[in-house]
């Protein structure tokens, strides 16, 4: 099988790839043959006896950068199950262009055997996980749009961001580089803190200019997390989101859903125009409430308002967070007040508070306990084998009464 294909004028690179591809990385290395360099995925596959075996494509050195990036973009669109590596020096301009083209990693031409093996391991793992999540036989044209998961609550302080960040990190493990978390709490969002990342760009940057017109540019506005998750964080200043409309939010989520398998949206408390726009795009609503009486009553009112607006997702998930039934409110009391069942109960836990303060979601680590188990139960509602749902039907005017 031809697991690796190398397009290069360096006669020694295929041998170095083969030497690094040992153990679970083992596989045939095919070097592009022909005087004319390939410009389309079909050109590359035409030289392979079993094109479906291709997992990793290495471009360069010796391949013109513009042609390499064009080919990488074509693979990202037509054959996303193939991981593309670019052999080039990692200067900022090349890194930015490679990211826009869907390149997974840069391979420095003089990289040692250990570094080459590490890059191959990451590429093979990425290809394998993508194939597991989306069958290779399913073409890009046939594939449905990504699943948009809105995490909502009528009030703050119930752990909504904690739930959203854990869910996104967990989904990223099943769909690495295919999951994005959007912080739609534009005034006081703290997704960046929950993930311990420093974001160069924010939602307000991404809805204007070239990013609005070009999804490849939009990808460069996302911040990478070590878990394989991407995040689009809230602005640093509460004033930065002024002028951002519900239509902007809807357009942004539509762009992301066309590129990513899972789009998790951490909304602001309440039902602002931004939140309603997100709900209008969502396939799933994840409602988060605490076990206190005011919180449960607020959630019931929110459910009633959404019902009046005719906003019914295909899938709804009710989460009771920070549960402590010794405080006088039982699960039965909560369900009676809500008028619906609770799907996931996350107990009050010191581990949750500690992980939030450290910027390390529980599902990103190895901490075990009741809270982790409950979060995994929530995650299982999305990653269990099932066809991705369609959105819930005709769109409703944002803010309709």
Phi/psi at 387 (5° precision): -70, 140
What residues contact 55, with CB distance under 8 A and at least 6 apart? 3, 4, 27, 81, 82, 83, 123, 124, 127, 128
What residues contact 388, with CB distance under 8 A and at least 6 apart? 144, 145, 146, 147, 261, 283
pLDDT at 16 over 50: yes
What residues contact 66, with CB distance under 8 A and at least 6 apart? none
pLDDT at 276 over 90: yes
Strands 223-224 and 230-232 turn out to be antiparallel
The C-alpha R_g of the chain, in whole angstroms, comes to: 23
* Lateral strand order in the sheet of 2-7: 28-31, 2-7, 56-59, 83-87, 105-107
Q: What is the pLDDT of residue 384?
A: 59
Question: How many other CB atoms are there within 10 angstroms of residue 37's CB atom?
Answer: 17
Q: How confident is the model over 286-339, as pLDDT tens digits?
A: 999 998 889 999 999 999 999 888 887 878 999 999 888 777 688 999 999 998
> Rounded to 5 degrees, what angle do the CA atoms 273, 277, 278 make?
120
Question: Which residues on adjacent β-strands are paired with residue 28?
Answer: 2
State the Cα–Cα distance between residues 400 and 253, nearest whole angstrom. Answer: 20
Q: How confident is the model over 214-268, as pLDDT tens digits?
A: 888 898 889 989 888 999 999 888 787 778 899 999 999 999 999 999 999 999 9
Q: Which is more confidently placed, 1 or 309?
A: 309
pLDDT at 141 over 50: no
Q: What is the pLDDT of residue 2?
A: 64
Q: How confident is the model over 232-241, as pLDDT tens digits?
A: 999 888 787 7
**How remote is the C-alpha of 385 from its chain's centroid?**
18
Q: Which is more confidently placed, 394 or 304?
A: 304
Q: How confident is the model over 84-136, as pLDDT tens digits?
A: 999 998 888 888 888 878 888 899 888 888 899 988 988 888 887 777 655 54
pLDDT at 34 over 80: no
pLDDT at 389 over 60: no
In contact, 267 and 311? CB cutoff 8 Å: no
Q: What is the pLDDT of residue 80?
A: 85
State the sign of the Cα–Cα–Cα–Cα dihedral 107, 113, 117, 118.
negative
395 band by pLDDT with thresholds 50, 70 and 90: very low
Q: What is the pLDDT of residue 385?
A: 38
Average predicted confidence (pLDDT) for the chain: 86
Using N-to-C axis directions, what is the helix angle for 160-174 and 113-133, rounded to 10°?
100
pLDDT at 138 over 60: no
On the question of a cis peptide bond just before residue 61, with omega within 30 degrees of 0, the verdict is: yes
pLDDT at 143 over 50: no
State the Cα–Cα distance between residues 40 and 137, nearest whole angstrom. Answer: 19
Residue written as token pair 């490679």: 98
Q: How confident is the model over 72-85, as pLDDT tens digits?
A: 988 988 888 899 99
Q: What is the pLDDT of residue 388?
A: 42
3-state helix/strand/coil string of 185-248: CCCCCCHHHHHCCCCCCEHHHHCCCHHHHCHHHHHCCCEECCCCCEEEECCCCHHHHCCCCHHH
Range 261-282 average pLDDT: 94
Range 344-353 average pLDDT: 90
Q: What is the pLDDT of residue 22?
A: 86
Range 379-397 average pLDDT: 55
Q: How confident is the model over 158-205, as pLDDT tens digits?
A: 999 999 999 999 999 888 889 999 999 998 899 999 999 988 889 988
């Amino acid at each position: 099988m031809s697991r690796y294909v190398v397009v290069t004028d360096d006669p020694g690179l295929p041998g170095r790839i083969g030497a690094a591809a040992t153990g679970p990385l083992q596989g045939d290395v095919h070097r592009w043959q022909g005087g004319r360099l390939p410009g389309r995925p079909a050109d590359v596959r035409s030289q392979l006896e079993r094109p479906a075996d291709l997992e990793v494509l290495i471009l360069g050195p010796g391949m013109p950068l513009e042609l390499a990036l064009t080919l990488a973009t074509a693979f990202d669109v037509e054959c996303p199950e193939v991981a593309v590596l670019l052999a080039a020096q990692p200067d900022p301009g090349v890194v930015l262009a490679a990211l826009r083209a869907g390149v997974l990693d840069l391979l420095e031409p003089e990289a040692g055997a250990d570094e080459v093996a590490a890059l191959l391991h990451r590429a093979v793992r990425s290809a394998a996980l993508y194939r597991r999540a989306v069958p290779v036989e399913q073409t890009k044209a046939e594939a449905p749009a990504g699943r948009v998961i809105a995490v909502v609550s009528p009030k703050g302080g119930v752990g909504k961001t904690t739930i959203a960040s854990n869910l996104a990190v967990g989904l990223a493990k099943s769909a690495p580089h295919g999951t994005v978390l959007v912080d739609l709490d534009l005034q006081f969002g703290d997704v960046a803190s929950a993930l311990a990342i420093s974001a160069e760009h924010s939602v307000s940057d991404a809805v204007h200019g070239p990013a609005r017109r070009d999804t490849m540019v939009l990808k460069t506005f996302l911040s990478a997390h070590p878990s394989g998750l991407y995040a689009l964080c809230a602005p640093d200043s509460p004033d930065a989101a002024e002028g951002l409309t519900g239509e902007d939010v809807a357009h942004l989520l539509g762009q992301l859903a066309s590129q990513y398998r899972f789009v998790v949206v951490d909304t602001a408390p309440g039902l602002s125009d931004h939140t309603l726009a997100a709900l209008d795009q969502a396939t799933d609503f994840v409602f988060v409430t605490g076990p206190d009486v005011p919180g449960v009553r607020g959630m019931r009112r929110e459910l009633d308002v959404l019902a009046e607006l005719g906003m019914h997702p295909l899938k709804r998930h009710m989460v009771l967070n920070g549960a402590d039934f010794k405080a006088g409110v039982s699960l039965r009391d909560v369900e009676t007040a809500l008028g619906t069942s609770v799907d996931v109960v996350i107990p009050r836990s010191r581990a949750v508070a500690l992980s939030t303060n450290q910027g390390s979601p529980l599902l990103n680590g190895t901490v075990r306990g009741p809270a982790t188990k409950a979060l995994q139960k929530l995650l299982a509602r999305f990653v269990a084998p099932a066809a991705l749902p369609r959105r819930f039907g005709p769109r409703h005017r944002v803010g309709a009464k």
